[in-house]
Structure 1
Amino acid sequence: GSARRECRGLARAALRLDSPAMEELLTEVLDRYGLPAAWDEVMAPALHAVGRKWETAGERYIEVEHLLSWHISGALRGVRAAGSPVTGAGLSLLACVPGESHTLALEALAATLARHGLPVRMFGAALPVEALEQAVRRTGPGAVVLWAQSHGTADRALAARVAAIE
C-alpha cells in the first residue's frame, strides 16, 4: 500500500542524498501512520534496504545509510507527548550495551514512550557499565531496556547485573 510506496520513496531520497525530501517524507509518515507504524512499515524497512545496498556494493553507499539514519534519528527526537504526562508511571531507562553503536530501534522506543507521556531517559550508544549502574542507582527506574543489535554485543550477564541493582 501507500506505506510501501513511502518506504521506497524514503530509500530513493536517501540514495539521492536529498535531505529536504527525507525530512518531508518522515514528517508525513509520522503524521499519517503514527510512530510505531511509521517505524515498522517505513523507517526500518528503508534502513534495511539501504543497508542491503551498502552490503552488496562494498564500501559504497555508507554515506547514504549514515544520512538516512541521522534524519530518522532527528525525526524520532522531534516526537512530543500527545497529552499530559502519565501520573505515577515509572521511569524507563534506555541504553545500548557497551560496544553497541546502533541506536535507532532504541530511539524509536524512547519516542514511543515519550509520545504516550511516559517518563524516559535515553542514554544512547555504548554506555559504559559503570555509567549504566550509576544511572540505575540514581534514577531508580521502573524499567531498564538494554539494546544490542547483534549477538556479538548482547550481554546477558550485564542484564542480570543491572537487574540485581536495588
Structure 2
Amino acid sequence: MPGTGRGGDPGRAAAPGGGDVRQDGRGLARAAVRLDAAAVEERLETAVTRYGVVTAWQEVMVPTLHAVGRRWASTGDRYVVVEHLLAWHVSTTLRRHTRRPATTPTAAGAGPVLLACVPGEQHTLPLEALNAALSHLGVPTRMFGAAVPADALLTAVRRLGPAAVVLWAQARSTANLPLAEHVAASEWGVKGARTQPLTMLGGPGWAGRPSRGMLRPTTLSEALGTLAAGYGAVPPAAPLSRGRGPA
C-alpha cells in the first residue's frame, strides 16, 4: 500500500529504533556483492527483527534483489552468483521467521490458505514472505512451493477445501489463466451450501490478463490484509510499505 517514511523527508524511510530501510538495503547489497554470507545473514536478520516480515520484505529484501538483478542483467553472468546467494539467504531468513503451523482449527472454522507457484514457475520467495507473514497472524497455510503440477494442485484444492488459493506467476509464459479459473470454480460441501475458494493471483506474470473475479494484489501488505480479514486477524501496521515490491 502507498505510504511514506516518518519525519520531514517523505522520500527517506526512517524506521522504529533508529533504522533506515534504504541504508539497510545498501548494506545488504554490498554484503551480497562481496559474497559475504555471514554479513548477508546478519543484515537480513536485523531487518526482520527491526521492521517485521512485511516491511523487511517490501522495503529491504525486494529492492535489494531487484538491484542485484539489474546489475546481473547489465554485466552478463558475472553477478549471477550474487543473486543466487542473496536469494538463498532471504529464503533461509523467511523460513526461520515462519511460525509452526497451528494444530487446532481457527476460530472462524475456515480452511487454510493454499500457496503455490503455477506449473513451470520456480520463483517462490514472494510466497515464502506471505507464508511467514500469515503465520504470525495465526492464519493456517499449506505451502506447496515451486512449479506445482496442475493435477496435483486441483487435487489439493479438493482435499483441503481452502479458504483461499494464492497462485504465483513471475512470467507471462507461466501464468496459466485456465488453471486459475479452474481453481476459482472449484466447489465442495453439501448441495445448496457449496463453498468456493477466494482465488488470488500474485506476480507480474498475470499483468494484463483478465482476472474474472479473481483478486490481483500488488503488494504483500495488500495480500496479507485481504487474506487475514477472512480469519478475523489484523495485520500489523506497515507505514513504510510503499508498494515497491510484488505481493
What TM-score range do you get, normalising by the shorter chain?
over 0.9
CA distance in 1, matches of 2:90, 2:98: 15
Match of 1:36 in 2: 54
Match of 2:150 in 1: 129
CA distance in 2, matches of 1:36, 1:111: 9
* SS of structure 2 residue aligned to 1:153: coil
CA deviations on 1:110-134 (whole Å, 9 max, x unpaired) are: 1111111110111111101011011
Match of 1:74 in 2: 92
1:87 matches 2:89:
no
- The answer to whether the 8 A contact 1:81-1:116 is kept is no
1:147 matches 2:165:
no
Q: Is the alpha carbon distance of 1:98 and 1:80 closer, same or farther for their aligned partners in structure 2, counting shifts above 3 Å? A: closer
Over alpha carbons, which structure has the higher Rg? 2
Give ranges in structure 1 of 5+ residues lacking alignment.
none
Match of 2:128 in 1: 107
TM-score if structure 2 supplies the norm length?
0.64
1:11 matches 2:29:
yes
Deviation, structure 1 residue 81: 4.1
1:160 matches 2:160:
no
CA distance in 1, matches of 2:98, 2:87: 19
Give ranges in structure 2 of 5+ residues lacking alignment.
1-12, 14-19, 188-247
CA distance in 2, matches of 1:30, 1:90: 28
CA distance in 1, matches of 2:146, 2:92: 15
* SS of structure 1 residue aligned to 2:35: coil
CA deviations on 1:42-99 (whole Å, 9 max, x unpaired) are: 00000000000100011111111111001000111111449x8853343000000011
Which of residues 20, 23, 39 is equivalent to 2:41? 23
* SS of structure 2 residue aligned to 1:61: helix
- The answer to whether the 8 A contact 2:98-2:131 is kept is no
1:52 matches 2:70:
yes
TM-score if structure 1 supplies the norm length?
0.94
* SS of structure 1 residue aligned to 2:154: helix
What do you get for the CA RMSD once the two structures are aligned? 1.6
- The answer to whether the 8 A contact 1:99-1:126 is kept is yes
CA distance in 2, matches of 1:122, 1:105: 12
Deviation, structure 1 residue 28: 0.6
* SS of structure 1 residue aligned to 2:78: coil
User: Which structure has greater helix proportion?
Assistant: 1
Match of 2:234 in 1: none
* SS of structure 2 residue aligned to 1:145: strand
Q: What fraction of aligned residue pairs are identical, expressed as a percent?
A: 58
- The answer to whether the 8 A contact 2:111-2:160 is kept is no
